[in-house]
Amino acid sequence: MESNTAHSQGPSAESLRRGYETSDITFSGLVWFVLGTIVFAVVLWIIIWFIMQMFLHNARVDDVPRSAIHAVQVPPAPTIQPMHAADVLPSQDLQEMREHEDAVFKQLGWKVDSATHSVQIPADMVAKVRDAESAISRSAPTAGPKNANTINPGPPTTQTTNGAALSPQGPGGNRQNPPYPGSERQ
């Protein structure tokens, strides 16, 4: 009870001398603040409602057709088979495509089975391609003098500023690391 009586008497002389707050928040001030906030929110909602109604009205005005004759434009039909230009069914079209492919493969010298439309590349052509690829890999240029413009075999490398090459295998380039410690040959 003492705290209520001390509070109702006002601040003490010591509180005033030290510069403490001399008044508390009044209940009427708090009520006015809450009421003001509520009134402000209601006014703001009303303004926003009028603005939205204006936007809705403008959108409805813009949606009015510009002509008394309101024609619905239908997109053109998709071009599916049979078409007017080539009046064939899909199975006939597929057969024509396979015959054209068979003719191209026969012209290349490949063996074509006309019943299954499977192709087989002749063994001599496969051997020629394999020999050409191995000749290319054997004739790869070797590393020349330092800073020479040559192509090194193997994966691409990136030159760093100090001239050391970095490769996807890590430092050392194509060097193979042993699978486990102690397996190095000396």
Q: Where are the domains of the chain?
A: 90-137
Tell me if the pTM is above 0.75: no
> E strands within the chain?
111-112, 119-120, 158-159, 165-166
Average pLDDT, the chain: 74
Whether the predicted pLDDT of 1 surpasses 50: no
Residue from 128, 149, 129, 153 nearest 139 by CA: 153
**Strand partners of residue 111:** 120
User: What pLDDT is recorded for position 44?
Assistant: 98
Q: What is the pLDDT of residues 76-111, one digit of tens each?
A: 877 676 665 667 777 888 888 899 999 999 998 888
Specify the length of the chain in residues.
186
What phi and psi, each to the nearest 5 degrees, are found at residue 142?
Answer: -95, 170
